[in-house]
Amino acid sequence: MTKEKPELSDAMKKKMAGKTFEKNPIQGTKYTIAISSAKGGVGKSTFATNIALALKKIGCRVGLLDADIYGPSLPKLFSINEKPKSDGKTMTPITKYEIQCMSIGFLTEEQTPMIWRGPMVTSAIKTFAQKVNWNNLDFIIVDMPPGTGDTQLTFAQEIKMDGVIIVSTPQELALQDVKRGIKMFDKLGVKIIGLIDNMCHFQTDDGKKYSIFGEGGVQRTAKEFKKDFLGEIPIVPEIGKQGDLGMPIVESHPDHNVSKIYLNLAEKIKTTFF
DSSP 105: G
The residue that leads in pLDDT, 38 or 256, is 256
Domain membership flag for residue 13: no
Among 14-23, 25-34, 141-150, 263-272, the least confident range: 14-23
Identify the domain containing residue 79 by its residue range: 22-273
Tally of domains in the chain: 1
- % residues pLDDT > 70 (the chain): 92
123 Cβ neighbours under 8 A, 6+ residues apart = none
CA dihedral over 269, 272, 273, 274, signed as positive or negative = positive
Average pLDDT estimate for 170-183: 93
Domain membership flag for residue 6: no
Cα separation of 148 and 178, whole Å? 10
Average pLDDT estimate for 33-53: 93
Domain membership flag for residue 11: no
What rounded mean pLDDT belongs to the chain?
89
Cα separation of 100 and 119, whole Å? 26
Domain membership flag for residue 192: yes
Count of Cβ atoms closer than 10 Å to residue 273 Cβ:
14
Domain membership flag for residue 126: yes
Q: Among 104, 134, 142, 141, which residue's Cα sits nearest to residue 120? A: 104
Which pTM does this prediction carry? 0.88
Domain membership flag for residue 160: yes
Domain membership flag for residue 47: yes
- % residues pLDDT > 90 (the chain): 68
User: pLDDT, tens digit, for every residue of 106-126?
Assistant: 998 777 777 778 788 888 888
pLDDT at 135 exceeding the cut of 90 = yes
pLDDT reported for residue 42:
92
Is 145 within 8 Å of 68 (Cβ atoms)? Answer: yes
Cα separation of 249 and 15, whole Å? 50
CATH number (domain holding residue 154): 3.40.50.300
